[in-house]
Structure 1
Amino acid sequence: MTQTMRKTDQELKTAVTEELHYTPNVDASGVEVQVDGGTVTLSGEVNSLPERLAAKHAAMRVGGVTNVTNKTAVRALLPTEINDQTLAHAVGEALAWTVDVPANAVKADVRDQRVTLTGRVTWDYQRHAATRAVTYLKGVKLVSNEILLESAVPTAGTKAAAEAAIRRSAELNPANITIGLDGSELTLHGSVGSWSQLRAAERAAWSAAGVTSVRNELHIAS
């Protein structure tokens, strides 16, 4: 049986840097990488919000990484290129044309090319859809999602449904994950082997009917 050795911080830094350079939609020359105890910190400047997100996802893909702090900043466009009024119009159009964002449920405020989303929706995927709708617009530097989640669905079968979803998953080991439910808040406990598994468990939790909050207390096992 072969034992997998834990990577040192220097090895992780090298691996993350290589992954950033390998990722075609990231200009790695503008991103700095630091690693401390398996936690990766990214800093520097990138050209767009999607590039900023892609850099974080690249770091998360590297085996041995236990956490990623993304301190990269999006370079601001000149006022002559785009202004808040023009961007606010584009944001409103994008939300209106996105099929999985409920009509008139989400409002957006744009200041200094930063978008703040507010409103109320029923499902978490609708909140993500609103963020996704505006993230890829030219000029957006940051999206703050303050949309509230409310559901009138009874939670009597919520815990059992979430547990069944975990068992069905090809990515997850249900023996290592336990679920707690307090009102409409679902909590995940236990361990997973990677960031992708952690996110898979979280997606399964959010998909349970009646859930308005998820506390992900899973840790990534070395």
Structure 2
Amino acid sequence: MINVLDKTDTEIKTDVLSELKYDPSLKVTEIGVLVTDGIVTLTGYTTSFNEKLAAVHAVKRVAGVVAIADDIELHIPDANHRTDGEIAAAAAHQIAWSTTIPKGTVEITIRNGWVILEGEVEWWYQKNAAEVAVRHLAGVCGVSNSIRVQSTNKIPAVGMDIEAAFNRHALLDAKQIRIEVAGNKVMLHGTVPTLTQREEAERVAWAAQGVCAVDNHLAIEWFKTGD
């Protein structure tokens, strides 16, 4: 049977610190952790936007975490500072050289080191690829991905396709997830054990042909198999 297992905030904090320490891309001594009712607040600083994201993703892997408040500050070393023009040029090259992103579909704007992506693509993975291509660049302080996913395909069986994908997935329990489809929009309801699995369920839903929007209402409920 499935039993809900509670973790104390102290146990969650210990696990979060261990996961941050385990990740070789992070300097755990520069990141602070506070936990209240399963909500993790990250403080301190990192030296790059990519490292800041890595810290958040590490916390999402920890069982018992229900939400994350990212209060990490970004302290970019002088050697990595870039002008908006330099970041724009580098970002444009990254997007242009990508074999995943259709040419001419993404517009790039830089404001004080913040990258704003706009435009229109047919698939979510193309939108995601654009963000991944620029977020590691030196001088980047953050990324706003406003690229629209627009598809002319309306597949009546899209819900069945997503459900089948959930059933195939090694990390997701399809019985805990309910799928609603309205036109090109997919809504996910139910529970998953971790924030990472919540994101993975959303990624799987986005992968279905014809999907232009995903509303992820999955709640975090940590459970384990018991006797």
The bucket for the TM-score relative to the shorter chain is over 0.9
1:174: which partner in 2? Answer: 174
Number of the residue aligned with 2:192: 192
Residue of structure 2 equivalent to 1:139: 139
> Alpha-carbon deviations, 1:55-96, whole Å to 9, x = none?
011111112111222221221454994211111111110110
Deviation for aligned residue 1:200? 2.3
Output one character per residue of 1:7-40: Cα deviation in whole Å (capped at 9) or x when no partner. 1112211221222122211111221111111111
**Any gaps of 5 or more consecutive residues in structure 1?**
none
Counterpart contact for 2:154–2:183, Cα < 8 Å: no
| One-letter amino acid of the structure 2 residue matched with residue 211 of structure 1 | V
| 1:221 counterpart residue number | 221
From the superposition, tell whether residues 80 and 147 of structure 1 become closer, same or farther in structure 2 (CA, over 3 Å).
closer
Change (3 A) 1:13 1:160: same
1:85-136: CA deviation from partner (whole Å, max 9, x where unpaired) = 1111111101101111110100111111111001000111011100000011
1:74-153 matches, cutoff 5 A: 74-78=74-78, 81-153=81-153
Structure 1 runs of 4+ with >6 Å offset = 1-4
Q: Distance in 2 between matches of 1:108 and 1:77?
A: 24
In structure 1, C-alpha distance between the alignment counterparts of 2:90 and 2:150, rounded to whole Å: 27
TM-score by length of 2: 0.91
Give the corresponding residue for 1:20.
Answer: 20
Report the counterpart of residue 29 of structure 1 in structure 2. 29
Aligned to 1:202: 202
Q: Alpha-carbon deviations, 1:119-160, whole Å to 9, x = none?
A: 000111011100000011111110110111100002312111
Residue deviations 1:172-195, cap 9 Å, x none? 222111100112110111112223
Contact 1:75–1:141, Cα closer than 8 Å, also in 2: no
Query: What SS does the aligned partner of 1:181 have?
Result: strand
Q: Distance in 2 between matches of 1:176 and 1:31?
A: 34
- Aligned residue identity for 2:105: A
